[in-house]
Structure 1
């Protein structure tokens, strides 16, 4: 997910930059209007980027929580397995001492 979000952000920023340059080159408006359009476009881009970054942060936090949760379950599985093996070894050791 993080790789996809990063690529999306790069594509969005690249598209905005290319659009701004083309807009300036082919703008039929006066300089003042063109600058206002660029400024408004930048503000829209900034809002969009902030929203995407906030979503990426939430996604990352969710992924982290899931990973920690899964690791916790795996740790419990490993501990249970080791406890069973230890009990088996104690039983085998007890049998050896009886002989």
Structure 2
């Protein structure tokens, strides 16, 4: 925003200077027109330099933002992968527990079945 204010200030100053120059010009019209043209060229050059400065500033800011976003996404991705690994490990342990419990129940059921088969004979 400061760059815009500077640019606006340069343009406004140039316009006021040209206007005052025309009003208080002690020289001939051709000389005054030449001065106006010179001042307009100076203003154009100043404006072009300011535009380049603003462009460079915006470019640097965009690059900084892009880098910050990339770093944040990489960090989030790493955190997500860590959480996923932890979840898979936890699920694996729970699956092992479930399998062990089912195997124990199967043993108990086989024992009961064996008793029932022996009792029915």
C-alpha separation in 2, matches of 1:93 and 1:18 = 76
Structure 2 residue aligned with 1:6, among 4, 7, 19? 4
| Superposed counterparts of 1:80-95, under 5 Å | 80-95=78-93
Q: How many pairs align? A: 97
Stretches of structure 1 lacking an aligned partner (at least 5 in a row): none
Structure 1 runs, 4 residues or longer, greater than 6 Å off? none
Structure 2 residue aligned with 1:25, among 23, 26, 31? 23
**How far 1:66 moved relative to its partner?**
1.7
**What's the RMSD between the two structures over aligned residues?**
1.2
Stretches of structure 2 lacking an aligned partner (at least 5 in a row): 98-121
TM-score, with length taken from structure 2: 0.74
- Of the two structures, which has the highest relative contact order with CA contacts closer than 8 Å and spacing of 6 or more? 1
C-alpha separation in 1, matches of 2:73 and 2:11 = 42
TM-score, with length taken from structure 1: 0.89
Greater Cα radius of gyration, structure 1 or 2:
2
